[in-house]
Structure 1
């Protein structure tokens, strides 16, 4: 998946802002994680989940990518069901498994 698949037409203004921010993170890997999560789950989140999502999304992308990829432990404050659900949208970022990326010498 390379971009937004959900329309924001049926979303309230808060969810529209979150959806836009989810797909415009600054690091493409985080666009894919948060964007896919938002596409699939944003409409069903309650206000508490939206608050938590906005708090998570306020973190630095470099920290988020390391937590989601497992290269750094997830802080205790994000050891939540919502963070685990977000992280489950992690695409395969392993460059060794990417098609057409072999280096010729």
Structure 2
């Protein structure tokens, strides 16, 4: 389990409403399912009702390479499109076992 808090300081001209969509923290949870690793990550602003969630699953191909599948839905998937609601699916490789 990982909690990552943040607070906007300094100049907010570029993204003045980013905390409206991203909130002030991110929560991440990982769980081993045999050789596979299931991870869930999300952020939410309780005042505005905006947030996003990501679900990931990785499975080892070799000792140092894992197949990784990811689904994201909500706001804040990227800093460019943080204020757009999106759903994305991705498949790729992971070069380490960190989640």
Which category describes the TM-score, using the shorter chain as reference length? under 0.3
| TM-score, with structure 2 as normaliser | 0.28
Query: Which is richer in strand?
Result: 2
| TM-score, with structure 1 as normaliser | 0.27
